[in-house]
Amino acid sequence: MRHRLRTALLGAVTTALTATFLAGPAPAVAAGHAGPRTGFEESGGARWTTQPEEQELLARADRDSARLQVDRIGTTEQGRPLQLVRIGATRPPTADRTRHGNSVLLICSQHGNEPSGREACLSTVRDLAYATDAATRRFLERTSVLVIPTANPDGRAANTRGNSDGVDINRDHLALKTAEGRTMARVLRDYRPDTVYDLHEYGATPPYYDKDLLALWPRNLNTQDAVHEEATTLSERYVRPTVQHSGFSTGIYGIWTDPETGEPVKQVAGDGQARILRNTAGVKNSVGLLVETRTTPLTQAEKDDPAVNNRRRVHSQLAGLKGAFAFLDERRGRIEAATGAARTAGYADRGPVYLGGADNDPATDEEVLKDPPCGYRLDGAAYAEVRDELALHGVRAEQDGTGALVRLRQPLRALVPLLLDGRSADHLTVAKPSAGC
């Protein structure tokens, strides 16, 4: 029965996700239904969808589909909109429904020169908006879908990795110095998505690091065990196998492997830094996953025709999303149980907090708060400096006449020392540990 349900889901919910772009342009809407096409689709992959085309597609879907709503949730330094798309079964899910049911947040093109994830997100938004089949409706009745189609619009316009100030916003999920980082933090706080799926691209280094799609879960040691387990399951039992079944090669992000033996050679990326979104998601009790598709052309056809390369990049992203949707549908009970338990675990205020290390790199003694303080005290000036960032993260602070006390006994327990302890690499300010809360 489970196999039949999964087959139906993958065939109906993700009709567009199974359509191959390798042979040329093809409609990516649910069978038998009209809908706006992306600029990428119209050109057969010869060019990427422009911002005006993106805005037109989203506006039309918002107008045509009762189940979808597009919200402007922020503005970049150069005045471009940051948008959140909310998709439900019959109407857009509210924040309250999203917080109390299974939900996923797709974050697309944090790096402006990595467009394939954005293309996959735009066509997925369109397909979910216009689909009328029973399997899609059933899926959306049980899973709220949130999408930030372009997380870095200024970088996308300039075709740069960073935003208009040159900042890598995927290193800003703790400090929240950028408009983009602050906007994503607000979405994580207000909607509390169970799963955060982050779409990227990378340049290959043949023959050690050249898979079509790489994936990686939160390595940060503050990720609760059950959340970590679901994140590795998402990668290793759903996304990567589905991508492989679609004819693409896969691997683990950041790990070079020997092409002859498949054994690891060295790690070049993918550590446990809490400021990176996949790790921030884990620290904030969500199932996080980073996916990276290969930009480097490796076949002669891809070298001769960039459109062939572009189509392969987008299609491998769509294959990954197909696996992610199956994960969301089949394991929704386990996902909700894992994230729900992780959010309540902080109230117990027990166990160590890790200031370093990763799931494949044990923390040193200096990187472990084995007996953390019950809280951190901020004087008036320090609290004024960081109060907005604490609020954006959803960290509760108790004001008094001399400043504020931030207790660890709260859902984001592990995040508190990362933000306020002077030994943390990414602290916002140095607060005084409190022994008497």
Q: How far apart are CA 301 and CA 7, in angstroms?
A: 32
**Residues 102, 228 within the same domain:** yes
Q: Write out the H or E segment, with its range, that includes residue 211.
A: none
- How do 213-216 and 250-252 pair as beta strands? parallel
Q: How far apart are CA 207 and CA 10, in angstroms?
A: 32
> What's 23's DSSP letter?
T
**Residues 338, 374 within the same domain:** no
**Residues 323, 421 within the same domain:** no
**Residues 334, 355 within the same domain:** no
* Secondary structure tally for the chain: helices H, strands E: 17, 16
Domain residue limits at 197 = 2-342
Please identify, among 342, 357, 387, the residue that sits at the C-terminal boundary of a domain: 342
Q: Within 13 Å of residue 370, how many CA atoms lie on the same side as its CB?
A: 4
**Residues 47, 163 within the same domain:** yes
CATH number at residue 314: 3.40.630.10
Tens of pLDDT along 107-135?
Answer: 999 999 999 999 999 999 999 999 999 99
**244 close to 250: Cβ distance less than 8 angstroms:** yes
**354 close to 222: Cβ distance less than 8 angstroms:** yes
CA torsion angle 373 350 275 316 (round to 10): 180
Q: How far apart are CA 296 and CA 307, in angstroms?
A: 13
Please identify, among 304, 326, 342, the residue that sits at the C-terminal boundary of a domain: 342
**Residues 235, 152 within the same domain:** yes
Please identify, among 285, 308, 342, the residue that sits at the C-terminal boundary of a domain: 342
Positive or negative: CA dihedral 177, 183, 186, 192: negative
**Residues 162, 79 within the same domain:** yes
Strand-by-strand arrangement of the 398-400 sheet: 398-400, 403-407, 375-379, 432-434
b/e map of 258-279 (b: 16 or more CB within 10 Å)? eeeeeeeeeeeebbbbbbbbbb
Name the residue among 425, 375, 408 with its Cα closest to residue 274: 425
Tokens 């609020």 belong to: 391
**212 close to 248: Cβ distance less than 8 angstroms:** yes
**Residues 251, 373 within the same domain:** no
Q: What is the pTM of this model?
A: 0.94
**90 close to 84: Cβ distance less than 8 angstroms:** no
**Residues 398, 304 within the same domain:** no
Tens of pLDDT along 31-40?
Answer: 334 689 999 9
**Residues 391, 259 within the same domain:** no
**221 close to 279: Cβ distance less than 8 angstroms:** no
What is the token pair recorded at 267? 């790690």
**Residues 186, 141 within the same domain:** yes
**120 close to 350: Cβ distance less than 8 angstroms:** no
**Residues 335, 356 within the same domain:** no
Tens of pLDDT along 209-221?
Answer: 999 999 999 999 9
Ordered per-residue pLDDT tens for the chain, 437 residues = 433 334 444 444 444 443 333 333 333 333 334 689 999 999 999 999 999 999 999 999 999 999 999 999 999 999 999 999 999 999 999 999 999 999 999 999 999 999 999 999 999 999 999 999 999 999 999 999 999 999 999 999 999 999 999 999 999 999 999 999 999 999 999 999 999 999 999 999 999 999 999 999 999 999 999 999 999 999 999 999 999 999 999 999 999 999 999 999 999 999 999 999 999 999 999 999 999 999 999 999 999 999 999 999 999 999 999 999 999 999 999 999 999 999 999 999 999 999 999 999 999 999 999 999 999 999 999 999 999 999 999 999 999 989 999 999 999 999 999 999 999 999 999 999 998 88
Domain count, the chain: 2
